[in-house]
Structures are given as structure tokens and as C-alpha cells.
Chain A
Amino acid sequence: MEKFTKAFPSKPLPTKTAKPWALAGVVGSGNLEVLLESGGRPKDAMECHVETSIPGYKASWLAALADFAHHYPAGGTKVTINDQGAPPVLVTLRLRQAYDHLTKGDK
């Protein structure tokens, strides 16, 4: 297991969200779950907590998360990830799904 925490600069999240938290994905082989929570944090950063069963890929994680924080206004959110070996492209997809659920509601 590898565990790390980092905050990434990001534009503030829209003030109105559909719900206070959103979950995307599931902890299964090659998959992950992303919990996205809003409120009570500095508006200029996305705070990330990652726990992964596959150690040694921290650089890829940080790149994927920094990229998301750059492209989406996610400042003030907290991202918590439980990972079981998801590829980077799936990490990005789940982040987008969670963001969509948070801002627009579940579909």
C-alpha cells in the first residue's frame, strides 16, 4: 500500500453544487473509487488523499491529479481515493464522473 496527500492549485468550485458529496467508481481490480466533497476548505486548492494497493506510481498520480485540478474549477474540494490498480485514464474518468455528480447531481 502507498498513501500520500497533496493539494493542487485550482479555480474555485461554483458556489452552487447539486449535493455536498459525490462518489464515483468502486474498489475492484483495475478500478478505484473517488469521493469528492465540497465545503470548509481554502477555495484556491483541491486537497487530495490517495491510498493505492500498487506502490511506485506517485509521479503518475500527481500528474493526473494536477491535470484535473488545472482543467476543472475544483478549488475548495477534498478528493479521497481508494485505488486497486486503476490506470491513469480511469483515474481521470472517475474524477470527471464524481465532479459531474457533485455539480449536476446523479444521473
Chain B
Amino acid sequence: MSGVLFHEQTARQRIAALADAGSFVELLAPPERITSPYLAQLGIPVSFDDGIVIGHAKIGGKKVYLAAQVGQFVGGAVGEIHGAKLTGLFKAAARDRVPCILLVESGGVRLHEGSAGEIAIAETMRAIFECRALKVPTIAVIATDIGAYGGIGILSTCCDHRIMTEHGRLGISGPIVIEKWMGKKAYNSADRALVWKTSGGKTKYLLGDADALVHDAPEAVRDALTKLIGKSKPVNLGSVKARQKELQNRLKRFGATDDPNVVWKGMGVRNIEAASLASGPEFAALAKRGK
């Protein structure tokens, strides 16, 4: 391991660390200045890449399409340009039958250009399912505390696979939103243990929403990608019905509890404290996913 932490890298550094050396070709790169017309109208500074880096590269000699969101720019939120880049990338993946990887870091739709963002997310989901119908693998990597929320949370779960680290979070409504609606007693967004035990990588892995739980290191993410890059999961009536049954089961078992430890125990974690302190891969070894 190089000692580099994946969640501390910039979007372009993450891509450089995952792709074969020198193989990444950026599409619509910063010099093309494809920026948000809405932010400019509102007097908010724009970014040359509108918060997402897209392109193609090779991983282990295999061609892939790659996107990395820039969480520091408006929370990695999806505006019209950002969304169009995302949609285009997955469409290109379907057209060329090339696997597509999204390094996620986004709170969802950018509220300054909400309608455009919502439409873009819907179009991207359609493109992802186009890939899946063609058995072109799609992978979301969720490895930072900005995580995958809102439309991007939904979009991430549309992909064949999700790779997470213990820093990563996946959900629809963010903790503060839940607290605003349900009250602090129901969900305290300042309680980090509660937040990560409900939406963090460990819990998502336990419930089967994440396919791999890896160290917060580019090498570990790359290893997991190499294993999943050639695999697609079928989407058909059978798989959708099986998933529906799984979710109904989950609701029946854990729907009434307000303690995430009950979920952990129910899913086969024996020693909560040891599991809380364990690294991602150690946790994956400890937890047997309720079997």
C-alpha cells in the first residue's frame, strides 16, 4: 500500500491512481470551458468541468469509461452540464459495450438548476439500464463522507455493483434532511455513530447493498474494480421480484427498531464493539451477512 488515502485524493488523482499509467483520456476537459449557464446567471462561480471529470482509460489493459465527481464543488451536485456529461458517458458505454465506472461524491441534484438536474439523473438511469440490458457492467465506487445521496444515491443503486469503504455513505435523504422532517429525537444528525451505522459502508455491505467493502486506498479500490469489471448482474422480472422479497423481509425484521445495533446483530455481527472498530475488510470477514 502506498499510504495514500482514497478519500483525500482529488477527482483527477483518483482516476490517475485507478487507471493504467498514462491511459486516461479526459473528455470535455477544462480548457473546453463547458460550464453551467445557470450558476453564472445567479452570480455563483462556475467550474471548468462543472464538478465532474469524465473520459476513458484502461484498467489492467481493459478499456473502461470512467467518471469522478468533484465533491468540493457545490457538494458534487448534478446540474445540467454535469448531468449531461454523466448521461453521455453511460450512453457511450452502452454503444461501445465498454464497462462504465462512476467514482461517486455527490449530494444529488444541484438545487440552483433543479429541473435540469432531475431530468439528467433520470436520463442517466435510463442509460445505466441500457448498459445492463446489454450486459455491460456498471460500477459505482462510494468512498467519501460526502457519499451518494438524493438522485445520485438512487442512481448508484441502479448500477450492477457498488464498491464502498467505511467512509462512504449511501442513502436518499441526508441525515440533516431526515432530522428536519422527523425531529432530533427520531434522528440526530450530529450523532456520527448513528449516521454511519444507518448509511455507512459497513451497514450497506452487511445488508447486501454494497458488493465489496475495501480499505480506503486506491490500490484496494483498484483490486475490487478488477474483480468486478467483467461481471454483470441480470435485470429481469425474476431478479426484481427476488429483490422486492428481500426488501420486504428487511422491513419485517428491522422496520420497527430505532437501534442500528439491532440490525447489525440481526445480520450476524456478534461483537458490536469489535465490528465498529474493525477496518472495512476486517469487518467483511467478521460479518457473515446474516447467514
Query: Within 8 Å of chain A (Cβ to Cβ): is B244?
Result: no
Instruction: Annotate A40-62 by CB proximity to B: 1 below 8 A, 0 otherwise.
Output: 00000000000111000000000
Q: Is the CB of A52 within 8 A of B70?
A: no
A28 to chain B, nearest CB (A): 4
Instruction: Annotate B10-39 by CB proximity to A: 1 below 8 A, 0 otherwise.
Output: 101100100000000000011101000000
Q: Is the CB of A27 within 8 A of B73?
A: yes
Residues of B within 8 A of A23 (CB): 12, 30, 48
Docked Cα-Cα span, A82 to B45, in Å, equals 6
Residues of A within 8 A of B47 (CB): 26-27, 33, 82
Q: Is the CB of A35 within 8 A of B45?
A: no
Interface of chain B residues 36 through 76 with chain A (CB within 8 A): 43-48, 70, 72-73
Q: Is the CB of B73 within 8 A of A26?
A: yes
Residues of A within 8 A of B33 (CB): 80
Residues of A within 8 A of B10 (CB): 26
Query: Within 8 Å of chain B (Cβ to Cβ): is A84?
Result: yes
Q: Is the CB of A28 within 8 A of B43?
A: no
Q: Is the CB of A27 within 8 A of B30?
A: no
Report how many A-B pairs have Cβ atoms within 8 Å: 45
Residues of A within 8 A of B48 (CB): 23, 33, 35, 80, 82
Query: Within 8 Å of chain B (Cβ to Cβ): is A21?
Result: yes
Chain A interface helix/strand/loop/mixed: strand
Q: Is the CB of A52 within 8 A of B45?
A: yes
Q: Is the CB of B29 within 8 A of A26?
A: no
Q: Which of A21, A37, A82 contacts B46 (CB 8 A)?
A: A82
Q: Is the CB of B45 within 8 A of A1?
A: yes
Closest to A26 in B: B72
Q: Is the CB of B30 within 8 A of A35?
A: yes
B85 to chain A, nearest CB (A): 16
Docked Cα-Cα span, A106 to B16, in Å, equals 9
Residues of B within 8 A of A1 (CB): 43, 45
Instruction: Annotate A16-41 by CB proximity to B: 1 below 8 A, 0 otherwise.
Output: 00001101001110010101010000
B41 to chain A, nearest CB (A): 10
Report which residue of A27, A51, A52, A84 has the largest number of chain B beta carbons within 10 angstroms of its beta carbon: A27
Q: Is the CB of B16 within 8 A of A21?
A: no
Q: Is the CB of A21 within 8 A of B73?
A: no
Q: List 22 A-B contacts (CB under 8 A).
A: A1-B43, A23-B30, A23-B48, A26-B70, A26-B72, A27-B46, A27-B47, A27-B72, A28-B72, A31-B72, A35-B30, A35-B31, A37-B31, A51-B45, A51-B46, A52-B45, A53-B44, A53-B45, A82-B46, A83-B45, A106-B13, A106-B16
Q: A21-B30, A51-B45, A53-B44 are in contact. List 6 more A-B contacts (CB 8 A).
A: A1-B45, A27-B47, A27-B73, A28-B72, A52-B45, A82-B46
